[in-house]
Structure 1
Amino acid sequence: MNVNAAVVSSFDHPPRFEHFDLPAPSDADQAVIEVLAAGLHPRVRSAAAGRHYTSDGRLPLVPGIDGVGRLADGTVVYFVADDDVPGSMAERAVVDLRRTVPLPGDPDLVKVAAAMNPAMSSWVALRRRVPLQPGQSVLVLGATGNAGRMAIQVAKRLGAGRVVGAGRNPEVLATLPDLGADATVALTDDRDATAAALAEAAAEVDVVIDYLWAAPAAATMMALLRARSDRSRALDWIQIGSVAGPTIELPSVALRSANLRIQGNGQGAVSVRAYVAELPSLVDEISSGGLAVAVRTQPLAEVERVWSEAEAPGVRTVLVP
């Protein structure tokens, strides 16, 4: 089937709106879906540049890891794209029906397409990796990004007693209390002042959701551990993103002198089956208005232009065929 799609032919160039030969479904679990909306997530950008850890280097490819679409029988669903088929940024896509969730009522399809991916990281992290206990406290490191803003809301919805948001963008940081943050910390170039602010606001948290990694994560770990009243009390660190860099230099004393437990959340750390099992409850949260998201809608045909534009802080772009 020939469809219009965002096509990546080089990892050094944005996708172009071109014709693409969509493969036929390979078995009874697959079907062709009419794509209604697909989110332009950071994960999509990294895959289209060949930089994501799941990338296999094969070209051409159609980017897009999820979306909202309509099946042949008229059912509107949220779907997660399979790694073995072209992505969701096309007029039509091949989907695994086991990775779809019907959308109840009359939901805002663009909002669902925008919110599911950034919300899913913290939702799965706090339900599957380190199940959040009612009343526990959470620090979101990198809270001024889309996923970080979602994590503030998710932590509250899942019963966190106190949530601290830390990030660099002062304008977005000022909006976090409206999303549920009980305290905020500005990450600045003044290392000592930042460490002191983190220690004061978040030394006693139970869980850290980390979208930054690299030097900011290492500095935050040491600031929290040095100020913690009881270092033997568990501090669960969930590594999700690496906006600040892919590697970390961490003193060994951080692991020997405190009960610091570091683990990741992503493809491989959690099974596809576990991710899919969490989709219905997250769809319900988003559809009911439980999670706020700012969206801008752009036509798929303008993907090359849209790809090169700077993202507005806190706003997720959704492409619509």
Structure 2
Amino acid sequence: MTIINAAVVTSFDQPPHYRDFELPAAEDDQEEVEVLAVGLHPRARSGASGAHYTSTGRLPMIPGIDGVARRDDGSLVYFAVDDDTIGSLAERTVIDAHRSVTLPSDADVVKVAAAMNPAMSSWVALRRRIEIRPGQSVLVLGATGNAGSMAVRIAKLLGAGTVIGAGRDRERLDALVDLGADDLVQLTDDPVDSARALAGRAADVDIVIDYLWGASTQEALVPMLTARSDRSRGLDWVQVGSMAGPTIELPSAALRSANLRLLGSGQGSVAGRDYLAELPALVDVIDRGQIEVGTRTVALADVERAWGEPDVPGLRTVFLPQQV
């Protein structure tokens, strides 16, 4: 076993503490690696609070679900892990060779660590949960968040003809035009007003990538279905995030009166092997600069302080375990 420094969760109602941790020895098909960069994703936060639906409640644990590391031979690798016990927010961790992909030697490790997780949500949704066809139209609900803005770009990269971005932050909403958005819908604090705007501008889309859920989706879904010019034409509504709430009430008539296919995309609905199969292609488009995200870097030793700081719109925090 190896004693490492890591962000360690000892209580779900406290931030992780920077302390030592006993890393178990690598087993078959595993290897111990030096962690270089780890993004602070919402998924990492929910795991550290015990709130994610995959949490087993075991403590202590190291949060973090992915990162960039250096192997003993000097090669760089992007890896994914389960944060049930041994996550990625550590100076060293144990990875599964089958859940990693080798990176170019000159890869920007901070950029890859920041972008892979938020980009994966829409990339996998459009390639594994549904298969987007060239020319289809896509609405991204919650497009002003990091993952949502990437979804606008990814939908275009995967062949969407029209992409509509919907979000609250006017400045970030306007910036989506540079990422490929063809139309924008300003959401407000009033879900009814927002629903009216969505029904007027986005009712005839083929696909919705939904990062909001909650009241935003509950109020918008029926008006959008009612406003469709052809209700028998299929609408794939893919639930990815729940920034506006975890539940909705859905009238049964919504499912009978329109050709609505409501599905989710995430751990459990997509097989692990399918996620892994998408890694090389996604790494390639990120490394070539086709998907970008703003970053700020923080030494892992400062994790307790940084954990409580509010997220900065447009920036993804990336921890550097080797920086002291």
CA deviation after TM superposition for structure 1 residue 26, in Å: 2.1
Whether the 8 Å contact between 1:16 and 1:304 is mirrored in structure 2 is yes
Q: What does residue 44 of structure 2 align with?
A: 44
Q: C-alpha displacement at 1:309, in angstroms? A: 0.2
Partner SS, residue 175 of structure 1:
helix
* SS across alignment from 2:318: strand
Question: Equivalences for 1:235-314 in 2 at 5 Å?
Answer: 235-314=235-314
The total of aligned residue pairs comes to: 320
TM-superposed deviation, 1:71? 0.8
Partner of 1:25: 26
Is the contact between residue 82 and residue 95 of structure 1 (CA under 8 Å) also seen in structure 2?
Answer: no
Whole-Å separation in 2 of the counterparts to 1:310 and 1:121 = 22
Alignment check: 8 A CA contact 1:156 1:180 kept: yes
2:7 maps to amino acid: A
Moved over 4 A (4+): none
Could you tell me which amino acid in structure 2 is paired with residue 263 of structure 1?
Answer: L
5 Å-filtered alignment, 1:119-198, equals 119-198=119-198
1:245-299: per-residue Cα shift (whole Å, max 9, x none)? 1111111111110000001101110000000000000000000001021111111
SS at the partner of 2:221? helix
Q: Is the 8 A contact 1:25 1:32 kept in 2?
A: yes
SS at match of 1:150: helix
The one-letter amino acid paired with 1:152 is V
Distance 1:82 1:73 in 2: 24
RMSD: 1.1
Which residue pairs with 2:3 in the alignment? 2
* TM-score computed with the length of structure 1 as normaliser: 0.97
SS at match of 2:114: helix
Distance across 2 between alignment mates of 1:224 and 1:203: 5
Asked if 2 retains the 8 angstrom alpha-carbon contact of 1:37 and 1:320, the reply is: yes
Indicate the SS of the match to 1:21.
strand
Matched position secondary structure for 2:104: coil
Paired amino acid for 1:88: S
The Cα shift of 1:200 comes to 2.3
* Residue identity in the other structure for 2:19: E
Structure 1 equivalent of residue 15 of structure 2: 14
The amino acid across from 1:247 in the alignment is T
Instruction: Report the secondary structure of 1:204's partner residue.
Output: coil
Contact 1:82–1:96 (CA<8 Å) still a contact in 2? no
**In structure 1, what residue type is equivalent to 2:14?**
H
Measured in 1, the distance between the counterparts of 2:298 and 2:80 equals: 20
Of residues 276-285 and 220-229 in structure 1, the stretch that sits farther from structure 2 once superposed is 220-229
Name the amino acid aligned to 2:26: P
Give the TM-score taking structure 2 as reference length: 0.97
The alignment-based identity, stated in percent, is 64
Unaligned runs of 5+ in 2: none
2:27 maps to amino acid: S
Give the secondary structure class of the aligned counterpart of 1:135: coil
Report the counterpart of residue 199 of structure 1 in structure 2: 199
How many Å apart are 1:106 and its aligned residue? 1.1
CA distance in 1, matches of 2:84, 2:168: 37
CA drift of 1:189 comes to 2.8
Task: Tell me if structure 2 keeps the 8 A contact 1:143–1:149.
Answer: yes
Give the superposition deviation at 1:193: 3.3
Query: Retained in 1: the 8 A contact 2:61–2:83?
Result: no
Give CA deviations for 1:203-224 in whole Å, capped at 9, x if unaligned: 1100000111111112221121
Q: Secondary structure at the match of 2:149?
A: helix
Aligned AA (2:78) = Y
Distance (whole Å) between structure 1 residues aligned to residue 250 and residue 215 of structure 2: 9
Letter in 2 for 1:100: S
Per the alignment, residue 100 of structure 1 pairs with 100
> CA shift at 1:35, angstroms?
0.1
